[in-house]
Amino acid sequence: MKATEHDTEERALVAAAQRDPSRFAEIYEAHFDRVYAYVARRVPSREEAEDITSEVFHQALAGLASFEWRDAPFVGWLLGIASNLVARRWQRSTGRAEVLVDELELVATDLHAERQVLFAELLSRLPEDQRRVLERRFYEQRSIQEIAQEFGRSEGAIKQLQCHALETLRNQVKERHER
Amino acid sequence: MNDDLIGKLDESLSELLAGRGPKPGEQPPLSELVATAREFSLSPRPAFRARLRSELDLAAGGRSSGAAEGLDLIAVSGKPNSSISSGRLAGNAATFQQRIADVSNARVAPGRLVRIARGCTFSDRGFGIVGGAASHASTHGGFATDSEQ
């Protein structure tokens, strides 16, 4: 899709959501990955990334009615909210009511978001036992011992599954980049 | 990969998951796998994405109908031990925290969503209605939950 077409569609979507907040879900789906990618690389834990991402979208929903277009894409507004929340989280006083996100940051965030989407897709294609090990270890932060107990397997077997899963992911990411 | 490397990989992943940086001197293939794991660890949990969507749907629904009825509808999740931030409470966190202490009514199951009207309270332990908000909330259906009371 051409940039101008995209801009027009986005403006129409934002205008629709300003009139009818139930349309905000479409904005959320369109921008979740970019907002999360931006935040996750600026805070030390998954919990904080989730908390701030959540606040970004709740604030955006609350402030959408008063949103006005400037010379930046809509996601720039969302990332500005994210940036302010991250700054506040770290108790850094910016001295500005709004932090602007520059174009380079937008490009980097797009790349990170694409990687996130790729990882989600590749995870879903892993053999079930490998996928479950990664989900338990990374999403639920469970220990090898706990996973081994749940799966009824030895800790060594779980470590092996974890290793194979990461090897598969690494190889598939490489493959995608070589295409 | 041999057992020694598999063990080292798990050690590195434990460091990563504890929020510590990569160990110096890691060589391929170990360093590559840790880098892959690092990137994977920055991916959002599907359950979080879905939960936030539900919260926003509920909050947006409240904005559509609640605004007309003069209600202040807020969606929060009933995740145990979750912090309830000011962003989700329209800047009323202090009051909200105060009210949480008063709640001892019905329980909300983990992960359930509740809809809160102004004057209603919610916590990980339960929810209730404070002061004269009861009729206000119930008249307009602003106090709703998909959890069994």
More reliable by pLDDT, A103 or B141: A103
Mutate to test the interface with A, among B43, B48, B72, B85 (most CBs of A within 10 A): B43
Task: Give the residue range(s) of CATH 1.10.10.10 domains in chain A.
Answer: 126-179
Chain A residue with minimal CA distance to B75?
A58
Task: Give the residue range(s) of CATH 1.10.1740.10 domains in chain A.
Answer: 1-115
Measured between alpha carbons, how far is A171 from A159 in angstroms, rounded to an integer?
18
Answer whether A17's CB lies under 8 Å from B64's CB. no
- Note which residues in 24-53 of chain A have CB less than 8 A from chain B: 24-25, 28-29, 32-33, 36-37, 40-41, 44-46, 49-51, 53
Amino acid at B109: A
pLDDT band, very low/low/confident/very high, at A165 (cuts 50, 70, 90): very high
* ipTM for the complex shown: 0.86
- Note which residues in 78-137 of chain A have CB less than 8 A from chain B: 85, 112, 115-116, 119-120, 123, 134, 137
| Residue A2, pLDDT score | 57
Q: By percentage, how much of chain A surpasses pLDDT 90?
A: 63
Measured between alpha carbons, how far is A67 from A71 in angstroms, rounded to an integer?
13
Secondary structure letter of residue B128 according to DSSP: E
| Residue A123, pLDDT score | 94
B1 vs A57, A163, A173: nearest CB: A163
**Mean pLDDT (whole number) for A54-81:** 92
**For residue A145, pLDDT beyond 90:** yes
CA max distance for chain B: 68
Domain A126-179 has CATH 1.20.140.10: no
| Residue B23, pLDDT score | 75
Within an 8 Å CB–CB cutoff, is residue A151 touching chain B? no
Strands B113-116 and B74-77: antiparallel
Measured between alpha carbons, how far is B123 from B103 in angstroms, rounded to an integer?
7
Flag if B55 and A112 touch (Cβ within 8 Å): no
More reliable by pLDDT, A87 or B70: A87
Architecture category of domain A1-115 in CATH: Orthogonal Bundle (1.10)
3-state SS assignment for residue A109: helix
Report pLDDT digits (tens) over B49-60: 999 999 999 888
Measured between alpha carbons, how far is B22 from B38 in angstroms, rounded to an integer?
9
Residues of A in contact with B5 (CB under 8 A): 163
The tally of CA atoms less than 13 A away on the side-chain side of residue A43 is 25
Answer whether A134's CB lies under 8 Å from A126's CB. yes
Measured between alpha carbons, how far is B139 from A91 in angstroms, rounded to an integer?
42
Report pLDDT digits (tens) over B2-48: 888 899 999 999 999 888 877 777 788 899 999 999 999 999 999 99
Flag if B9 and A50 touch (Cβ within 8 Å): no
**For residue A7, pLDDT beyond 90:** no
Report pLDDT digits (tens) over A26-60: 999 999 999 999 999 888 888 889 999 999 999 99
pTM of the model: 0.69
- DSSP run (H or E) holding A154: none
B121 has which bridge partners?
B128
Backbone angles phi, psi at B72, to 5 degrees: -110, 90
More reliable by pLDDT, A3 or B112: A3
| Residue A70, pLDDT score | 85
Within an 8 Å CB–CB cutoff, is residue B81 touching chain A? no
> Crossing angle for the helix pair B30-41 and A155-178, nearest 10 degrees?
90
What is the number of other CB atoms lying within 10 angstroms of the CB of residue B126?
18
Report pLDDT digits (tens) over B99-134: 333 332 333 333 333 444 444 444 433 333 333 232
Instruction: Tell me the average pLDDT of chain A.
Output: 88
Dig out the tokens for B141 from the structure: 């259906």
pLDDT band, very low/low/confident/very high, at A62 (cuts 50, 70, 90): very high
Answer whether B59's CB lies under 8 Å from A58's CB. yes
Among A56-60, A83-87, A140-144, B75-79, the minimum mean pLDDT is found in: B75-79
- Closest C-alpha to A139, from A53, A49, A50, A46: A46
DSSP notation for B86-118 = GGGGTT-HHHHHHHHTT--SS---TT-EEEE-T
pLDDT band, very low/low/confident/very high, at A125 (cuts 50, 70, 90): very high
